[in-house]
Amino acid sequence: MAVIELKGVEKSFGSVKVIRGVDLKVEHGEFVVFVGPSGSGKSTLLRLVAGLEETSGGTILIDGRDVTNLGPAERELAMVFQSYALYPHKTIRGNMSFGLEVAGFPKDEIRQRVDEVARLLQLSDYLERKPRELSGGQRQRVAIGRAIVREPVAFMFDEPLSNLDAGLRVDMRIEITKLHQRLGATMIYVTHDQVEAMTLADRIVVLDKGIIQQTGSPLELYEHPANLFVAQFIGSPKMNVLPAAFKEGRISINGGVGIEAGKMTGTDVANVGIRPDDIEISPDGTGLIHGKVDVVERLGSDTFAYVAVPGAHAVTVRAPRDSAVAIGQDVGLTFRPERLQIFAVDGTSLRLRPGV
Amino acid sequence: MAIVSKTANSASFRNSRRWLTVALALYFIYTFIPIFYVIVSSTKSNADLFGTFGLWFSGDFHFWQNLQDLFTYQDGIFSRWLLNTILYSVVSGVGAALFATFAGYAFSKFEFVGKKLSFALVLGAVMIPQTALVIPIFLLLSKVGLVNTPWAVILPSLVFPPGVFLMKVYADDALSNELIEAGRVDGAGEVHIFFNIAFRLLTPGFATVLILAFVATWNNYFLPLVLLNSSDNFPVTVGLSQWYALATSGSGGAVLFSIVMAGSLVSIVPVIAAFLIMQRYWQGGLGAGGVKA
Amino acid sequence: MPDAVATRRRGRVYVTKSVAPYLFLLPFMALFIAFLIAPLCYAFGLSLFKTTMVAGTQFVGAANYLKVFTDPSFWDGVVLLFKFGLMQIPIMLGLALLYALILDSGRVYGRNFFRIAFFIPYAVPSVIAALLWGYLYGPSFGPFGQLAEFFHLPKPQFLLDGTILGSIANIAVWEFMGYNLIIYFAALQAIPQDLEEASSVDGATGLQYALRIKLPLIMPTVIVTIIFSIIGTLQLFSEPYLMRNLAPGIINSHYTPNFYAYTLAFTNQQYNYSAAVSFVLGGVVAVVSYVFMLLANRRAA
Ligand SMILES: Nc1ncnc2c1ncn2[C@@H]1O[C@H](COP(=O)(O)OP(=O)(O)O)[C@@H](O)[C@H]1O
Ligand SMILES: [Mg+2]
């Protein structure tokens, strides 16, 4: 278990700044997920922690020890890679033993530890096989097992599930959660998939363009996104965004009548956001805005309606599965004002909510 | 291949297949003439060599006699040449392949000061005419007393720039960065990672460079011609060419012709065998170099 | 990274990422410098001096180079190589391309057999190749001469003034066609299969597919092989050197520039002038390759 602390960490490749000053503290036993779009610098940040890249600025502390200038070996972390990075010429046992051999552990102890971890991960029957003789999910477990045997101070995961098919991905997600509960180890996990982030994390770190956009628990991010970027990145389907303006104590949505702004006084309101779950379809003529149903997707559990609203992007609505909504129908859209997110011109969230 | 046309009109497919195979066979005959000639000629006595049709066997099977002459002429110096060639080619081949593998790995997997410049120099080395190198190497090595020693051939042959290029391309493809990083996170040092992880995966590329460097030294002529002057150190190429010069100069060396033929055959058989045995490697390797270049 | 070049960690020498590339490059680069860079620099130094019996060795600056520029023995050789290259390279690469396309079309019997058979000459040392063809070319005892005699035809003359260059070119074609074929074949095999399916859906015949799709796609590879062939051609030495006795008077001691440099150094002991000749030849190689690349790029653009 370890506390990992980043202070003003920066990284440039040549003249390109990829990480622009990151401050973060990961507590003992915490499961932190870095999430963000492709190219946002998640992997780079993780690799900086692991010692696979050298920092261009700032310091990295592990349990209070400055490791900024130490190589990966001295940081005693373990990492699970996207491609699994299993040594193809070694058996599963050889893969899991390698780190311990390098560290000079006695043979008996290596054998014992590998056997134990193999049992934990249900790999005991495969120990003498080569990686290519295993399925994707099994390889993934070997990669995790290789990390566990070394009893590292913390685990790093870089998109470990993205090479698995959808079903297996869910299973492995659950296994990783269980593993975290059992080991109680500090884990940092990188993914571009916000569902993975929401389900796994104690705390999510949202990255964009090398800057932390927001840090918080999954629900905090969902309910109180710090800005438009986080609001749209977290949650599936995406939050709907409609143009808005502050007029005479009211917030007018998409040029319409608008709603009471309550205690809010800001004048630079530019957009409001509302999640598909928080919208209800009502008969034409009722509701805050109206539009025409463009597409209906029936997923079984839910029905998604995409409603064309003049002057705005199509609005996504999550309707009950037996909703009678039909293509071409003119509908009104209703939502509770306190569910609205309000964003300023620069995209930051205006925390005060109408009617609150 | 050509699935559509195969099913669409298979009569024309079979027809074109026949003609294209004939075109290949014609070139094959051309390719095979000199090789057939050396096989035929090495079975003939010196008299038959000139007195019978060159591209067919004569009644008198003189092959074993020629071999015996080859290995006994001038106190059996030919076997000495053969051993020299083997020594030079094996040592240079293994060394060149090993050093090229190290260097290609460094160029592929590391960032370091001077990487671009040094790689450009290695690539540019192919432009240099042999004489521009071999003559000054001769002069420099004669200063340190290495001329006319095996080192004079082996040391320059250890430098095999195409091998470095090939190994870089191969390592780019066959060795993922994540694998090396996994080794680093596992706590292994770079040398340990190279020998325990990387080298195993680079082995096919290594084998390719090994055979190419081996053959380059086996077939080399200009370098040993310049750097060696005592017959005892010659490789087969230089030795045979001297006998050949003697034979063609007309000054009583004509009896050498059949020996030269037998010697030619003996000297090409091991290389052809090596190529046949290791075809998987050189085909892939030459291809990679050509496609990526 | 720690300051120490290598730290000992639990009894094992531990080399860090920052020093590792230099360590891996060391053996090759040391030899590269010793046997490539150093000799080149040394030869360049040599080329700036002149050694005479009377005056000893003295610095003459560019004088040797100026002499090369007006030396007909050198330029005759260069002109000869141009003739040689313009004949040999198109034939060799044209055949290689043709046969690579044929092999890749899949419309042949014995594809693997032919591919490997065509490559075999590459395994034959150029010395032996020159020697074997030298026998074959022989007017009286060579099999072609024998055949002509048998049919009462005029004997083919491979070793005369007008034909010997073609005869040498033939040896080079024989030696290197298969090598280039292997390279083209690999490039052709790397073309994705679905292109062929797409083109046949578009109604293209096999021949059209080969000429209009495959050929342009492997053009970069073809250009690389042309450059390597130019470099190889301009270094011609072993074949004429070996055949000098077969055609005395025609193959003289400055038949090709490399031959000339060799003669200057080892027959005349004119190391300084020989070095200058080699460097000018290197310059010619670089200029011709560069001009060719410019032309190829302009064509492509
Ligand atoms: N070794 C490198 N050299 C140059 N640029 C790099 C390197 N590694 C990553 N980058 C760049 O840094 C940015 C962030 O990359 P990365 O951390 O891999 O993003 P993510 O994992 O979030 O998709 C990208 O624009 C990428 O192109
Ligand atoms: Mg990434």
Residue A296 Cβ inside 6 Å of ligand 1? The answer reads no
Show the tokens assigned to C120: 């075999």
How far is ligand 2, taken at its centre, from the CA of residue A120, in Å?
28
B41 within some domain:
no
In this structure, of A188-192, A348-352, B136-140, C235-239, the range with the lowest mean pLDDT score is A348-352
Number of domain units in chain B: 1
Ligand 1 pocket residue status of A18, Cβ below 6 Å: yes
Q: What is the spatial distance between Cα A20 and Cα C12, in angstroms, rounded to a whole number? A: 38
Beta strand A31-35 pairing with A203-208 = parallel
User: Which tens digits make up the pLDDT trace of B195-214?
Assistant: 999 999 999 899 989 988 99
Give the model's pLDDT for residue A265.
64
Residue B6: inside a domain: no
Average pLDDT, chain A: 91
Interchain pair B127, C285: CB under 8 A: yes
Q: Show which subunits contact C, needing at least 3 CB pairs below 8 angstroms.
A: A, B
d(CA C94, CA C65): 37
DSSP letter for B91, please: H
**Is A194's pLDDT higher than 60?**
yes
B34 vs C133: CB contact, 8 Å cut-off?
A: yes
Beta bridge partners of A62: A4, A65
Strand, helix or coil at B44?
coil
**Domains of chain C and any CATH numbers:** 16-59 (no CATH), 63-300 (1.10.3720.10)
Give the whole-angstrom CA distance, residue B111 versus residue B107.
8
Given this model, what pLDDT does residue A352 score? 59
Tokens standing for A17?
Answer: 């700044």
Distance from the alpha carbon of residue C160 to the mean position of ligand 1, in angstroms: 66
Across residues B154-161, what is the average pLDDT?
A: 96
The count of other CB atoms within 10 Å of the CB of residue C66 is 12
Nearest CA in chain B to C40: B133
Specify the pLDDT at position C281: 93
Can you list the domains of chain A with their CATH numbers? 4-228 (3.40.50.300), 237-344 (2.40.50.140)
**Nearest CA among B158, B220, B138 for reference residue C33:** B158
Mean local confidence (pLDDT), B14-40: 91
In a domain, B45, yes or no: no
- The percentage of chain C sitting over the pLDDT mark of 70, rounded to a whole number, equals 95
Return the partners of chain A (3 or more C-beta pairs < 8 Å): B, C
Q: How are the residues of chain C apportioned to helix, strand and coil, as percentages rounded to the nearest 5? A: 70, 5, 25
List all residues 6 or more positions away from B194 whose beta carbon is below 8 Å from its beta carbon: B102, B105, C20, C24
pTM listed for this prediction: 0.88
**A183-196: b (≥16 Cβ within 10 Å) or e:** eebbbbbbbbbbeb
Give pLDDT tens digits for A86-140. Answer: 999 999 999 999 999 998 999 999 999 999 999 999 999 999 999 999 999 999 9
Burial class (CB in 10 A: 0-12, 13-18, 19+), A239: buried
Q: Give every CB contact of residue B144 below 8 A, 6+ residues apart in sequence.
A: none
Q: What is the mean pLDDT of residues A61-70?
A: 95
CB–CB contact B190 C109 (8 Å): no
Q: Is residue B128 part of a domain?
A: yes
pLDDT tier at B4, thresholds 50, 70, 90:
very low
B4 lies in a domain? Answer: no
Greater pLDDT, A226 or A257? A226
pLDDT of residue C299: 77
CB contact under 8 A, C35 and B122: no
pLDDT at B131 over 70: yes
pLDDT, average across residues C198-214: 81
Interface of A with C in 66-85 (CB under 8 A): 69-71, 73
The tokens for B280 are: 């998987």
Identify the CATH number of the domain in which residue B164 sits: 1.10.3720.10
Q: Which residues of A touch C15 (CB under 8 A)?
A: none
Say which of A69, A70, A103 has its CB closest to residue C10. Answer: A103
Which residues sit opposite A4 in a β-bridge?
Answer: A26, A62
Is the pLDDT score of B285 beyond 80?
Answer: no
**Which pLDDT value is given to residue C4?**
36
| A186 C-beta closer than 6 A to ligand 1 | no
Query: Does residue A344 register a pLDDT over 80?
Result: yes
Q: Which two tokens stand for residue B26?
A: 């014609």
A144: closest CA of chain B, how far (Å): 12
Nearest CA to ligand 1 atom 17: A41
Model confidence pLDDT, tens digit, residues C77-116 = 999 999 999 999 999 999 999 999 999 988 888 888 998 8
CB contacts, 8 Å: A54 with chain C: 1
Ligand 1 centroid to Cα of residue A89, in Å, is 29
| Greatest mean pLDDT among A144-153, B100-109, C153-162 | B100-109
**Chain-chain contact of C1 with A69 (C-beta, under 8 angstroms):** yes
pLDDT of residue A85: 94
Rounded to an integer, what distance in angstroms lies between the CA atom of residue B260 and that of residue B244? 7
Q: Provide φ and ψ at A87, rounded to 5°.
A: -70, 110
Record: contact C183-B218, CB cut-off 8 A: no
Residue B289 pLDDT class (50, 70, 90 cuts): low
Nearest by CB: B131 against C102, C197, C258: C258
Which residues on C lie below 8 Å from A73 (Cβ)? 9, 14
- DSSP β-ladder status, A203-208 and A303-308: unpaired
- Which pLDDT does position B275 carry in this prediction? 86
Helix (H, G, I), strand (E, B) or coil at C15: strand
Query: Is residue A250's pLDDT more than 60?
Result: yes
- Would you tell me which residues 135-194 of chain B have a C-beta closer than 8 angstroms to some C-beta of chain A? 176, 178-179, 181-189, 192
Q: Residues B170, B162: contact at Cβ < 8 Å?
A: no
Range of the domain at B206: 68-282
Are A196 and A168 spatial neighbours (Cβ–Cβ below 8 Å)? no
Mean pLDDT across chain C: 88
- Given a cut of 90, is residue C170 above it in pLDDT? yes
- pLDDT, position A211: 96
Distance A26 CA to ligand 2 centre (A): 20
Surrounding ion ligand 2 within 5 Å at CB are A 43
Q: Which two tokens stand for residue B173?
A: 């493809």
What would the DSSP string read from start to end of A81-142? Answer: -TT----TTS-HHHHHHHHHHHTT--HHHHHHHHHHHHHHTT-GGGTTS-GGGS-HHHHHHH
Specify whether the CB–CB gap between C250 and C76 falls below 8 A. no
Q: Measured from the CB, is residue A146 less than 6 Å from ligand 1?
A: no
Residue of C nearest to B14 (CA): C107
DSSP alpha helix (H) spans, C203-270: 206-208, 215-217, 219-234, 238-242, 257-266
Of A171, A189, A190, A192, nearest in space to A234 by CA: A192
In a domain, B272, yes or no: yes
Please tell me the distance from the alpha carbon of residue C11 to that of residue C119, in angstroms, as a whole number.
Answer: 50
Q: How far apart are CA C262 and CA B223, in angstroms?
A: 11
| Domain-located, residue B293 | no
Rounded to the nearest 5°, which phi and psi values hold at C218? -100, 10
The amino acid present at A136, given as its one-letter code, is: G
In this complex, do B127 and C116 lie within 8 Å of one another by their Cβ atoms? no
- pLDDT for C264-282, tens place per residue? 999 999 999 999 999 999 9
CA-nearest residue, atom 2 of ligand 1: A13
Give B198 Cα–ligand 2 centroid separation in angstroms.
23
Residue B50 located in a structural domain: no
